[in-house]
Structure 1
Amino acid sequence: MGTVQRVQQFIETKGISKYRFYQESGLSNGSLDKGENIGSDKCEKILYVYPELNPDWLITGRGSMLKEEKENLKPQINYENKGAPYYNIDFIGGFDLVMNNQTLNPDYYIDFAPFNKEGVVWCNITGRSMEPELNNGDYIAMKEMTDPIQYLPFGEVYGFVTNSYRTVKRMGKSDREGFIRLIPTNKSPEYSEQDIPVNIIRKVYAVLGSMHRLF
């Protein structure tokens, strides 16, 4: 088993898609589809983004997949531009408007290695339609997508902005041409799937991860 196979095993264990892995690690699409091993520079990127991964296991296959010591995985708040900025605003309450205000400073920064990447921003999420996957009051890490929505993978969670509303849902394929399906995680009858036309969507943000409030 080479490093490529071990990375694929790690992805499966972590429960993320290849697309999400490429987004988080910065590796180009298809990097895991070529050969059995990847270069040391790519391994360094992976280990930086996923500090819980055991480097000895990744490179040689020896030992366990994950490090036993996980204290370094705890997010830290700071005011020194370390990590990704956090804005104390709800995505549904106008997060995209805040992002367009270049004069607004973040409340603080969250230093959390898996999400310390260019373009990533933390904000809040309210509502219960995505529970238990995303809980009311959680922090969510988001990044604006620049690719046309037609090229974004189905099955991932996104924040959608239209002229009328903002919502966080899993994107599914619609039976209607020119539409996508918004799928809530919560199976309560009050939350149902909804098809919306692609042409009303102004912005799309990938939801990269979430965590409960730090204090």
Structure 2
Amino acid sequence: MSRRSGESSGSRRNTDPSRSGDYEYRTSRGSLPARVVASQVDSAPDPRDTTRRSRYPREYRNEEGRPPNTHRPFADHERRANERLYEVPVSPPGASSSFDFDRRAASRQQVERSSPSNVHPNDRGRVVRHPPNDPGPHRAVMAADPNDRDRRARGPIGVITHPTANPTGYERAHLAPISSSARRQEQQYYDQQSAGHSSWPPRAMHSEDLERMERSGRRRGAEGGGRRRHD
């Protein structure tokens, strides 16, 4: 294990701009399939356009922690000459809603107030229909030259996450070989992207879960068939 980064020798730092389906970004809040992150970055607006209400993607200054203990998650060599770093919200597969770049981003306090435990039962329907525009805890980092609009933004060059214990700070994710659970998440994401198409069983579902659901359905059917109607 590296004393400097704390990562195991079996994982790869996400300085490798891999966009294949063979890797995942591992964070303290779970894993993100690398190909899903790349897909969301590709569909994000140009970070040099600052007219959006959400103010995302926005510049990332690459400084974390409080002085004098600040650190830089990304090394200088990961940014080419004249490039700046930008952060863009990314969502894990299966998220209840995706971030809308054309709406004002919700604050952490607004998101907390809209949680089921904090919402009055009479207001839950409204909150479900109009959820806050939550950017979530995960950010992909991309790079772009602010003076060169002809050159496309480059990324993702990495992922950073708000850790649960420090929701205002960031920690850098590591790129590692994809796990079976992350691969199922990746397939679930592409199933969701296929508009007008659905599959059964859902690809993210374990065979054990499906078998349990089928047994439960057969049991309910048997119980219903054995009941007599009393008029």
Q: Given the two structures, how large is their TM-score scaled by the length of structure 2?
A: 0.25
The structure carrying a bigger strand percent of its residues is: 1
Larger Rg computed on CA atoms = 2
Q: Which has the higher contact order (CA 8 A, sep 6+)?
A: 2
Normalised by the length of structure 1, the TM-score is: 0.26
